[in-house]
Amino acid sequence: MNKHFTNPRAKNNFVGRTCSIAGVGSYVPDKILTNADLEKMVETTDEWITSRTGIKERRIAAANEFTSDLATKAAERAMKMAGVTAEQIDLIIVATLTPDMPCPSTACFVQHKIGAARAAAFDIGAACSGFIYALEVGQQFILSRTYETVLVIGAEKLSSIVNWTDRNTCVLFGDGAGAAILQHRENSHGLLTAVMGADGNKADLLSVPGGGSKCPATPESVSAGMHYLRMDGKETFKNAVNAMVSAANEAMRRCDIDITKIKCVIPHQANQRIIDAVGDRLKTTPEQLFVNLHKYGNTSAASVAIALDEAVNSGKISRGDLILLVVFGAGLTWGAAVIEW
């Protein structure tokens, strides 16, 4: 086994047990919405969107294509790569802020659609940080020998909660899903550590205020647009950079490594300027930083999951490489994970 880092898990009781990602997969809808298309919808320009965010286009799900459909397609690709059948899956965790409906969980719809009849299923709500939260939760079941195979998915149909008349937010988001199969693997450390954090005091910076128990859907709440996503972009930006940098540093510190040992850094894809600021402060090289934001915009919980799949399938990451995922989102929430791929 690689000895260029410390495995923080060795300090706990999970002796001889690791949690690796056996397969990844992603799916984005076919429909592309470009910046030029948005110029016809709201008072904006391709120049503004590109220079302030780095986004050129995003994918939009069809009216009859739900978060669980995107999640299912990503899951089937991850299962294929891992060589795992639906019957083998013990648990399905879906990270999403755009579930098919408030109840039941989107994970239950995915369970049915992939035919994983044995699997337990539940959703996690940690907004854009959801995929790392879900990885960390899923890992606990593998390390404790409770389950052998866990399917973790980040999936969003953000187009369903975007106010398409608000230029401050509608240019930023897109739809998609990414999935990973977690299993114990011999001779691999797998997921070495995951830092998770939250600050509920700043919940107002990014939220969907309506549709829950605080503000149930009524004709008034809908006409006031309470069911749309709202964001204080500037404050969110500042918090994102600080939280992502400190989470990434903490994750590397736990493994006794510095940034030079990381083959690929996969940051949450919200804004190119956030990615650049995080990269500057972590002292990454341009080759280390993975970016696909220009193609998909911010896909929230799906963001790093899609990026991980693309990094793996483009050959940017090989087995044995160390990778760093780092995320930030509503809550506020944040996280970072070091993985021996």
The catalytic site residues sit at 128, 268, 298
**Under a CB-based contact definition with an 8 Å cutoff, are residues 84 and 181 in contact?**
yes
Q: Which of 121, 171, 191, 262 binds ligand UT7 (CB under 6 A)?
A: 171
| Min dist. Cβ of residue 306 to ligand UT7 (A) | 14
**Under a CB-based contact definition with an 8 Å cutoff, are residues 335 and 133 in contact?**
yes
Report if residue 269 touches ligand UT7, rule: CB under 6 A. no
Q: How far apart are the first and last CA of the chain?
A: 12
CB of 28 or CB of 257, closer to ligand UT7: 28
Q: Which stretch binds ligand UT7 (CB under 6 A): 43-51, 82-90, 193-201, 220-228?
A: 43-51
Report if residue 236 touches ligand UT7, rule: CB under 6 A. yes
Q: What is the DSSP string of 23-65?
A: EEEEE--SEEEEHHHHHTTSS--HHHHHHHH---EEEE--TT-
Residues 157, 168, 213, 125, CA torsion sign: positive
Residue 206: in which H helix or E strand, if any?
A: strand 206-207
**Under a CB-based contact definition with an 8 Å cutoff, are residues 157 and 66 in contact?**
yes
> What is the pattern of x (binds ligand UT7, CB under 6 A) and - over residues 90-129?
--------------------------------------x-
| Min dist. Cβ of residue 57 to ligand UT7 (A) | 14
Report if residue 233 touches ligand UT7, rule: CB under 6 A. yes
Q: Name residue, tokens 């780095």.
A: 54
CB of 114 or CB of 170, closer to ligand UT7: 170
Q: Which residues bind ligand UT7 (CB under 6 A)?
A: 44, 48-49, 52-53, 128, 167-168, 171, 233-234, 236-237, 240, 270-271, 274, 298, 328-329
